[in-house]
Structure 1
């Protein structure tokens, strides 16, 4: 059996060597050959921060956006109910006045008893006429009373619904506050070694372009999306339709420099197709952006923040800072000291 084992071992060694030679001799793919220098390594998490931090930021921002959408729906419903209550109360005034008139007439003239009214008739036909008249009067009074009661019931139901919406709004505001605290606490823990927040000095963008809103559900919430459309950037892979929309809107606004979106591994939204990295320099990520390149990054970050609601922005990272819909700019010092993980050579965008 020993010769057989030795032969198998030799064959395995030859196979490994052949595979290694094949890999080494394999030509670069067109996408790889065209990729500019300084490209973030595909398959590596070079965004800075830990998977736990990325998960916390994603959950906090999504939770905050969901709560805000629910708050908007509740506020809209409250406005509708307030208008409805106003109309019902106006109708109630009319009904109440009508019943009051009937009661006043009855008080002034006195009610004619049914028996007396019928016995006072001088003929069978008169008896029938008076019976019909009495029935009509009773029906009229009954209808007026029923309308009044129904209107009051509607007013009470509307008032109750209005109170429920106010309670819903308070709940959503509480959720938003908790999600804000969650994101800021996660950043606080991650930034324990931070010595400066940069004071927001790198965020003075001047973009005033407006983006076309991404499609929403009928109730204003964001539809669930998967990594289902082809990534048009050299990174290949897939992205979500909403990420593609944000990418296209940025390009339409004049931000046409190098972009890389999908990555098959790592934490954060890149493997989910919900994030893109927008290079500040014309030919790729390179070193720390300065001068006009930094101005480009400032303006791009400002564009995404200005259009955070229509584009469903979860967060933006640029120059050691992160922008959250709940908190604005905060320090982001979780990088490794290089331009990519410090986000000093590209603007990172994550969408819902």
Structure 2
């Protein structure tokens, strides 16, 4: 998942991508599982919250339309009632008595039928509009309850993230600059959630496999100019790398080095980390680790202590885990 671990080349020497036999990138499995659960829970709850807000907006717009329609229909039905009160309802008997000949009677009878159909339609439309308005109000109330539920989930997942980070973090981080480009969004489900994906497409960095969403992230990052050495899938250990849901981007142009990035390499890593954070919602990023800081969607940038090595502290590469 996170770090390169021990067994790296001497300081300053560029090496190949992390090997499958290299230890996981610092931290325990418990920490990695806790970070994943907190981040995934947040992303899922946020998607449900956003979807509920969209439905509420649509329902509110429809309710406003219905309220305008109800005013019109109430006015029309009121006219029918007022006319009936003033003139009395036109019946077949009154039409017959007011007719001077058969043709006049047939004409009045036809008028009676048309009026009855019109009045019946107005009353039916009024009833249906009132029923739909009532359903819309109930649906809006349900969406509000759903949003309150998801807000509670978000609050819990933030507490979970804070608890998990307490093992490796001493407080808020400062974040990084650069990386302002906007990525092309990865495909989502119709309700705004992320589709479930497996390690099913070729990993261009190792020849193994990654998820389609991870590949999309990698391609978007490279299109934005982040073209230095990358390694994604790793068969050994646990975390997201073996699932094809994580990539390590070297800060140095020649590959992973066992020294902390400085100068242009540090600037490159800063920009990439910020790019991934800024486009997390478009790409499906779960969290980012770079230069002793970790970003999660429910905590923002926090300090990160990976054990003191360039790999453990992520000072020689940017790690990104995908949903």
Q: Where do 1:183-202 residues align within 5 Å? A: 183-188=161-166, 190-191=167-168, 196-197=170-171, 200-201=173-174
Does 2:294 correspond to 1:325?
A: no
Partner of 1:316: 288
Q: Give the Cα–Cα distance (whole angstroms) in 2 for the partners of residues 63 and 330 of structure 1.
A: 19
- 5+ long unaligned stretches in structure 1: 1-34
Q: Give the alignment's TM-score, normalised by structure 2.
A: 0.87
Q: Give the Cα–Cα distance (whole angstroms) in 1 for the partners of residues 78 and 200 of structure 2.
A: 67
Partner of 1:93: 71
Q: Give the Cα–Cα distance (whole angstroms) in 2 for the partners of residues 288 and 176 of structure 1.
A: 35
Residue 116 of structure 1: CA displacement? 5.6
Partner of 1:239: 210
Does 2:177 correspond to 1:205?
A: yes
Q: Give the Cα–Cα distance (whole angstroms) in 1 for the partners of residues 178 and 202 of structure 2.
A: 31
Q: Give the Cα–Cα distance (whole angstroms) in 2 for the partners of residues 66 and 254 of structure 1.
A: 30
Pick aligned residue for 2:240 from 254, 269, 274:
269
SS in 2 for 1:200: coil
Q: Contact 1:275/1:348 (CA < 8 Å) preserved in 2?
A: yes
Q: Where do 1:1-40 residues align within 5 Å? A: 36-37=14-15, 39-40=17-18
**Cα separation, partners in 2 of 1:285 and 1:311, compared to 1, 3 Å:** farther
Residue 224 of structure 1: CA displacement? 1.4
**Cα separation, partners in 2 of 1:110 and 1:180, compared to 1, 3 Å:** same
Partner of 2:152: 174
Q: Give the Cα–Cα distance (whole angstroms) in 2 for the partners of residues 39 and 215 of structure 1.
A: 29
Partner of 1:215: 187
Residue 130 of structure 1: CA displacement? 5.2
Query: Which deviates further from its counterpart, 35-44 or 46-55?
Result: 35-44
Partner of 2:314: 343
Q: Give the Cα–Cα distance (whole angstroms) in 2 for the partners of residues 321 and 255 of structure 1.
A: 20
Residue 307 of structure 1: CA displacement? 0.9
SS in 2 for 1:95: helix
Q: Give the alignment's TM-score, normalised by structure 1.
A: 0.80
Q: Contact 1:38/1:285 (CA < 8 Å) preserved in 2?
A: no
- 5+ long unaligned stretches in structure 2: 1-12
Partner of 2:225: 254
Give the CA RMSD over aligned residues.
2.3
Q: Where do 1:38-53 residues align within 5 Å? A: 39-53=17-31
Residue 110 of structure 1: CA displacement? 3.5
Q: Write out per-residue CA displacement over residues 15-63 of structure 1, whole angstroms, 9 at most, x where no aligned residue.
A: xxxxxxxxxxxxxxxxxxxx94275342333311111111111122112
Q: Give the Cα–Cα distance (whole angstroms) in 2 for the partners of residues 336 and 306 of structure 1.
A: 27
Q: Write out per-residue CA displacement over residues 63-103 of structure 1, whole angstroms, 9 at most, x where no aligned residue.
A: 21112112222222112111111111111111110011111
**Cα separation, partners in 2 of 1:49 and 1:130, compared to 1, 3 Å:** same
**Cα separation, partners in 2 of 1:275 and 1:106, compared to 1, 3 Å:** same
Q: Write out per-residue CA displacement over residues 282-311 of structure 1, whole angstroms, 9 at most, x where no aligned residue.
A: 222321112222121111101101111111
Query: Which deviates further from its counterpart, 169-178 or 310-319?
Result: 169-178
**Cα separation, partners in 2 of 1:38 and 1:134, compared to 1, 3 Å:** closer
Pick aligned residue for 2:137 from 145, 159, 171:
159
Q: Write out per-residue CA displacement over residues 142-177 of structure 1, whole angstroms, 9 at most, x where no aligned residue.
A: 222112111111211122222222222222222222
Pick aligned residue for 1:306 from 244, 268, 278:
278
Q: Contact 1:263/1:271 (CA < 8 Å) preserved in 2?
A: yes
**Cα separation, partners in 2 of 1:110 and 1:130, compared to 1, 3 Å:** same
Residue 113 of structure 1: CA displacement? 6.3
